[in-house]
Structure 1
Amino acid sequence: MAEDTSRKRMAHTARSGLLASLAVLIAAAPVFAADRFASQMVELEVSRITAGLDHPWSVEVMPDDAYIVSERPGRLRIIRGGKSGGPIKGLPELFVDGQGGLLDIALSNDFPSSRKLYFTASVPGEGGQGTALFEARLSADEKRLQEVRRLFIMNRLTGTTQHFGSRIAVAEDGSLFFGIGDRGEMDRAQDPKDHAGSILHLDQDGKPAAGNPFADGAKGLPEIWSIGHRNPQGIVIDPADGTLYTVEHGARGGDEINAPKAGGNYGWPVISYGKHYSGAEIGIGQSAKGYEQPIHYWDPSIAPGAIAIYRGPMFPEWEGNFLVAALKYQLLARMERDESNMITKEERLLSGEYGRIRDVKVAPDGSILLLTDEEDGALLRVSRAAAN
């Protein structure tokens, strides 16, 4: 009898201890209420996965549905179960000022087996700073980057602190597309022997990819894909047909969506749909022979931070739509397009609700991930709201 009573007390004590431990864990994990918003086709639910991020720039979904996030001041961390892990060690020396720092991240196509990833950053060097592309492997314990290797650095560094680019798109063959802005020195974007203001295309070893337009280097640098870009901060490959798209900042107006073709010149600063911040005209007008036209432009500017193409099961109504994150207007733009790839409709979502939206990605389950570019930045998940 005494032994049974003792066992009951021990069991009660164990249960009490377990409940106390669970209470501590629950209290430590962030708890956010979901918000509901109406849209033209479907009701949305927005939940905060985590907050407290310092100017997050890029997010990718890992194979186990955790998230890896870059923060511009120079930190890379993993978010799992709503909790942010500590900074991952092993990043190279970065230049962190103005628009510079740790920028985009992308997982290699074979990441589940190789644990290889890519990232872009502004780095210091002779003459100032500029955009560089790196590869690395994430350690098994997720605490360190290993085998960090710089694949590329732009050919002319300067002291300016803006227009570094620089999203990455990994093609099906493993080659890498990424953009670099004009570095605040606009005429550089028209020089095919200057990396500034261009889209680059490299193979997995950092060498010029096959099929680039200036392969022999005579008329342009062999790693350049296209020129005439002001500041491309969004780049994506449509998984349905392999078409490359960019979204880039204009000046005072003239933000653009482009579909860069090999050897194409996208006009900056010869043609533009915007004006200088002073109000002065840019270049020679909005079109001219030899310069490609955008698929779409905004005037006034929304300050686009990233672009995605919706291909997923959660929102079949949005299949094939562009999704564009906007910084200045603090919104997510959903762009419908027709069979000729022209934009037919724009819906502006979440306007002013969460602050500056820096990144947008479509998750494997079809939900949409957003990052807010704030000192107390958040990772948000947009999903289809359940019926009331």
Structure 2
Amino acid sequence: MKFLSVFILPLLVTAGISLLSPETTPTGVEIQSSASQLSAKDNFLKYCAGCHGTKMERFAGNTWEAFKAGGDLTGVIRSGLPVLGMPSFEKAFTQAEMKAISDYILEMKDKKEATVAVKFPAVVRSKHQAFRIDTVAKGLDVPWGIAFLPDGDILVTERSGQLFRFSGGKLKAIISGVPEVLALGQGGLMDVVLHPKYKENGWIYISYSKKAPDGVGGNTAIFRAKLKNNQLVEQQELFKAMPNTTSGVHFGCRMVFDDQGYLYFSVGERGEKTNAQTLTNHCGKIHRIFDDGRIPPDNPFVKTPGAMPTIYSFGHRNPQGIDIHPVSRRIYNNEHGPRGGDEINLVGKGNNYGWPVITFGINYDGTIITKETAKAGMEQPVFQWTPSIGPSSMKFVTGNRYPGWKGDILSGSLSFKYLERVRLENGKVTEQEKLLENAGRVRHVTMSPDGYIYVATESPGIVVKLVPVK
């Protein structure tokens, strides 16, 4: 059963998803030479599947149908769809190769089978922890954020713009009063978190892509509201990113409260690389505000002329995971690189994380962004993934329910459809493990107040609970 009034398939290009490393295709000239030796299927799997899926499961619905009706995709392969984040592949393929890829896509899409339900094993025995998988919400498309109410109910945001309330594994209510979202590409209704003192003040914080006043484009926004009779009331907008843009990519936007009650949140650079290094806009940054939207007076750029005062760190591409280390209490984030170069970063006040001046990734068409992976005054990642996994969120494992994973980072993989466990010791990654392989595109991972891990996936759109077993 689908709860959405309109079904929107995932966007043409998912930020930071790739199957190749930077060394694979270092220049456009070398791509031509390499691509010419591959079949249409090989070219699709090598250059396209990282974003569109090996089984072509990730195409933008309306756009896909429009091009399919024309019977030829060579134009979009050649020119790309910049608004949705798809680059041009004119330098990567000859006209004949683009036509062959087009024919292959059209042929295979006609044969595409519907997504089947995932069948989980009775018990999963990973390297350090055994667990079972319980489904607590289903019938979703792109579940983006999860929050836990004191009565045990679960709030789940759906990217298309709906907020669901689940109880006991069943849909209890569709929350009314949600603002209209800019459902463009990767945009929509995104994260949801409760105020640390929710039981006292009732504030719920939600991030979403908001339309510009003139209806042309938009950008990331955050508001807070209270929940009364399954309706959002007393709404207050706390933040709206500028400038507005018609780009459909890199909105961010994860949120986390720290121990002092500051709200940290991420905004992607909206597909415009230079935004990340420019302090006069909100894009490509991690921000910090008080819980009511006020600007902390000790934010690093409050006194910098022209700078956005909410900025806490900059030089980010598209951060979609943010959490607090359980011991040091410092902020960490993960973010999408381009083709290669996804990152985990230790976020520091006023720090520059380098995008696009330094990166371990390359452009989607294989061309070079920069030859620099390090530069004075720019931070190095704690860890980087090449090839890209498409890190959608992150959570440190806390509490005592998962002793084998305590202190580890869990990060979703949109590209390869698994949950990755990363062990961090003395600031270095010492161990990695794939969990929930082929469970679906892992969009979100979080922990409930009673210490259980919850994971939201798309294709299929479900939320699962990992229950430890002996």
* Length-normalised TM-score, structure 1: 0.87
CA radius of gyration, larger in: 1
Q: Please state how far the C-alpha of 1:37 moved relative to its aligned partner.
A: 1.5
Partner residue, 2:217:
128
1:258 paired with 2:345, answer yes
Is 2:440 the partner of 1:342?
no
Q: Deviations over 1:194-218 (max 9, x none)?
A: 1110001011221222421012132
Instruction: Confirm or deny: 8 A CA contact 1:66 1:78 kept in the other structure.
Output: yes
Q: Which residue does 1:47 correspond to in 2?
A: 134
Q: Which residue of 1 aligns with 2:125?
A: 38
* Pairs within 5 Å for 1:134-173: 134-139=223-228, 141=229, 143-173=230-260
Which ranges in structure 2 are unaligned for 5 or more consecutive residues?
1-118
- Read off the aligned partner of 2:431 and give its amino acid letter: K
Asked which structure has the greater RCO (Cα within 8 Å, sep 6+), the reply is 2
Q: 1:119 — aligned with what?
A: 206
Tell me the amino acid that sits aligned with residue 223 of structure 2. F
Aligned twin of 2:282: 195
1:202-351 equivalences under 5 Å are 202-218=289-305, 220-338=307-425, 340-351=426-437
The Cα of 1:322 is off from its aligned counterpart by 0.7
Please tell me whether the aligned partners of residues 34 and 47 of structure 1 are also in contact (alpha carbons under 8 angstroms).
no
Corresponding position of 1:106: 193
1:344 partner amino acid: T
CA contact (8 A) 2:314 2:352 kept: yes
Q: CA deviation at 1:96?
A: 0.8
2:462 is paired with a residue whose SS is strand
Question: How do residues 39-78 of structure 1 correspond to structure 2 at under 5 angstroms?
Answer: 39-78=126-165
**In the alignment, what sits opposite 2:455?**
370
CA contact (8 A) 1:60 1:105 kept: yes
In 1: Cα distance, 2:169 partner to 2:441 partner: 21
Deviations 1:268-299 (A, max 9, x none): 10100111111112224111111100000000
Counterpart check, 1:357 vs 2:442: yes
Q: Which moved more, 1:61-70 or 1:94-103?
A: 61-70
For 1:106 and 1:42, how far apart are their aligned partners in 2?
28
* Greater fraction strand: 1
Deviations 1:124-162 (A, max 9, x none): 1145210001010011x3x10001111110120000011
What amino acid is aligned across from residue 329 of structure 1 in structure 2? F
Question: Which is further off, 222-231 or 311-320?
Answer: 311-320
Per mean C-alpha deviation after superposition, the further-off stretch among 224-233 and 39-48 is 39-48
TM-score by length of 2: 0.72
| Distance in 2 of aligned mates of 1:50 and 1:72 | 15
SS of the residue 1:211 aligns to: coil
Give the share of equivalent positions with the same residue, in percent: 37
Partner of 2:468: 384
Structure 1, 210-219 or 274-283: larger mean CA deviation: 210-219
> Separation in 2 of the partners of 1:50 and 1:221?
39
Change (3 A) 1:65 1:33: farther
Give the conservation status (yes or no) of the 8 Å contact 1:255–1:304. yes
Across the aligned residues of Structure 1 and Structure 2, the Cα RMSD in angstroms comes to 1.5
> How far did 1:219 drift?
6.3
CA distance in 1, matches of 2:120, 2:405: 25
Deviations 1:111-135 (A, max 9, x none): 1122211010001114521000101
Structure 1 unaligned blocks of 5 or more:
1-31
Number of residue-to-residue matches in the alignment: 350
Secondary structure of 1:86's counterpart equals strand
Secondary structure of the residue aligned to 1:189 is helix
Which amino acid counterpart does residue 274 of structure 1 have in structure 2? G
Contact 2:394/2:445 (CA < 8 Å) preserved in 1? yes
Between stretches 280-289 and 96-105, larger displacement belongs to 280-289
- 1:185 partnered with 2:185: no
Structure 2 residue aligned with 1:28: none
Q: For 2:392 and 2:324, how far apart are their aligned partners in 1?
A: 16
Q: Secondary structure at the match of 2:449?
A: coil
Q: CA deviation at 1:33?
A: 7.5
Task: Name the CA distance, whole Å, in 2 between partners of 1:119 and 1:42.
Answer: 33
Taking the aligned partners of 2:297 and 2:448, their CA distance within structure 1 comes to 30
Give yes or no for contact 1:234–1:246 (8 Å, CA) kept in 2.
yes
Q: Which moved more, 1:283-292 or 1:100-109?
A: 283-292
Instruction: Kindly provide the CA deviation profile for residues 74-124 of structure 1, in whole angstroms up to 9, marking residues without a partner as x.
Output: 111111111112310111121112111100001001111222110100011
